[in-house]
Amino acid sequence: MKLTTVRTGNGATSAAVQRGDVWELVAADDVGALLNSPERDEILARPTGSLPLGAADFAPVVIAPRKILCCGHNYRAHIAEMGRDAPEFPTLFAKFADTLVGAADDIALAPSVSALDWEAELAVVVGSTVRHADRDEAAAAIAGYTVANDISARDWQNRTPQWLQGKAFDGTTPLGPVMVTPDEFDPAEGARITCSVNGVLRQSGSTDDLVFDAAHLLSYISEFTALRPGDIVLTGTPSGVGAAATPPTFLGAGDVVETAVEGIGMLINIIGKDAS
Amino acid sequence: MKLTTVRTGNGATSAAVQRGDVWELVAADDVGALLNSPERDEILARPTGSLPLGAADFAPVVIAPRKILCCGHNYRAHIAEMGRDAPEFPTLFAKFADTLVGAADDIALAPSVSALDWEAELAVVVGSTVRHADRDEAAAAIAGYTVANDISARDWQNRTPQWLQGKAFDGTTPLGPVMVTPDEFDPAEGARITCSVNGVLRQSGSTDDLVFDAAHLLSYISEFTALRPGDIVLTGTPSGVGAAATPPTFLGAGDVVETAVEGIGMLINIIGKDAS
């Protein structure tokens, strides 16, 4: 099953489920609200309208997750390339919901940022509450997978030992276009994850190359904090970021960033001026 | 003016304002809801009940801030003691609302944590929305000040380069007991900030020793993300944490942690078992 969140005009949004060649809208404001509802199945069974697949204006799949956690240093090939050992524990940081934009929205480039970089990521959407969960419980709590780009202001990220300020610019993290449920998508089967900038392939990895997979991350995180329906976990980025290029290469206004995970979909975002 | 949030039974809470020797309850679920209401002044003018000052069961002053940002390395005396230079930029990380507990609540000690440490902090409560704010605009957006203890699991904090996992254990960050408005409390006048453990003074600093003061932090943060009413900024801790003691000293079940800022109030929290 593929779920998404679409804009329906006047600032309103709706969760939607793909059936054949249409998006069927359902009575929930977004996928987050749908996942939080005890009537999830009944809501999905009673569509309130429909849209042709090509007509969707995607909002972030979950509009306002209460928690977004991100894992760094998580692709084996990237870690080996950097000459590092595989980490014993996941490196985790947080993002705010204000960072999120839709699959075709512009990405905000703030005037104070001089080194905006790309990070294609597989993202996990939490479907049920987990706390102190073992691996099996964590796996069972995965509602599905989507695509993110953890666009990073490297200049701000590297100002201090903590990355948050380079990862938390409002309007910089596209999330979508759809969430695919685990019965239809299994990262362990090795889906290709890519990022292209202006048509040039910059990142290409496989989702079976993660040091810490989705179930491991959810279980680990649940040791210190509860995860709830609609929370998002970004699983890290493969090699090929702009900061590691020779010479380092960053994003400028007008650049087109295409971020894809095979079997889920593609984000196509243009770097725009910061309008906030 | 002193505002707080009190528990009123059956899981309910209410914002309250101190008038004479009572807390007058007002029609908002917590200080966060009060600050978010356009009828803030009218709500404060029409109390719905009252409590003797000593009878309050304090919830976190703001129960569910959308954003909690924390600054590390921010007291000059502590930085000098560590032989470091004053930083050019604030080191920032995030916390989740689930970390918060009330001024007299137990602090959760998870079985997996072996190095629980204290960090007395002055906390800022945001009163109006700020984005790309200069120093004066940021100062005008401060609703008030409260006390926090950024209790940290040093073992988890130091597992990886990013501190989040040691700072985000649910139920570990007391926030309160009250918020004092800026007309009655000015950190630049040098309020004493202290942390005692089992009656032994461990930290003692002055709020005029901050490298980055509250207005500076709000202005800086607002460059990358919007701050809104009820958001919280923790301003860092003075010297004297347990990890820096000889030998390093950490918290165990039953320990009593007293965290105070002169002119605001005191948190008294017992280290308890993690009940979540």
Task: Give the pLDDT mean for B67-91.
Answer: 90
Question: Residues B53-78: pLDDT tens digits?
Answer: 999 999 999 999 999 999 998 999 87
A170 and chain B in contact, CB less than 8 A: yes
Q: Are residues A153 and A258 in the same domain?
A: yes
Q: Are residues A191 and A138 in the same domain?
A: yes
Residue of A nearest to B274 (CA): A224
CATH of the domain at A187: 3.90.850.10
- Residue A61, in any domain of the structure: no
Which residues are A124's β-sheet partners?
A145, A233
- Residue A90, in any domain of the structure: yes
The whole domain housing A217 covers 68-273
B129 and chain A in contact, CB less than 8 A: no
Distance CA B67, CA B221 (A): 11
Cβ–Cβ gap B160/A87 under 8 Å = yes
Question: Residues B25-59: pLDDT tens digits?
Answer: 999 999 999 999 999 999 999 999 999 999 999 99
Q: Are residues B221 and B155 in the same domain?
A: yes
Q: Are residues B36 and B79 in the same domain?
A: no
Least confident of A172-181, B63-72, B78-87: B78-87
Q: Are residues B220 and B145 in the same domain?
A: yes
A86 and chain B in contact, CB less than 8 A: no
Characterize the bridge pairing of strands B265-273 and B107-109: parallel
Cβ–Cβ gap A110/B226 under 8 Å = no
Q: Are residues A100 and A132 in the same domain?
A: yes
Q: Are residues A127 and A225 in the same domain?
A: yes
Count CB pairs under 8 A between chains A and B: 100
> Which pLDDT value is given to residue A274?
62
Q: Are residues B102 and B195 in the same domain?
A: yes
> Which pLDDT value is given to residue A276?
60
Q: Are residues B197 and B121 in the same domain?
A: yes
A159 and chain B in contact, CB less than 8 A: yes
Residues of A in contact with B100 (CB under 8 A): none
The C-alpha R_g of chain A, in whole angstroms, comes to 18
Which residues are B268's β-sheet partners?
B258
B132 and chain A in contact, CB less than 8 A: yes
Burial degree of B69 (CB within 10 A; 0-12, 13-18, 19+):
buried
Residues of A in contact with B94 (CB under 8 A): 93-94, 96, 164, 168
To the nearest whole number, what is the mean pLDDT of chain B?
96
Total structural domains in chain B? 2
Q: Are residues B97 and B157 in the same domain?
A: yes
Residue of A nearest to B71 (CA): A162
Cβ–Cβ gap A98/B161 under 8 Å = no
Residue of B nearest to A109 (CA): B224
- Residue B88, in any domain of the structure: yes
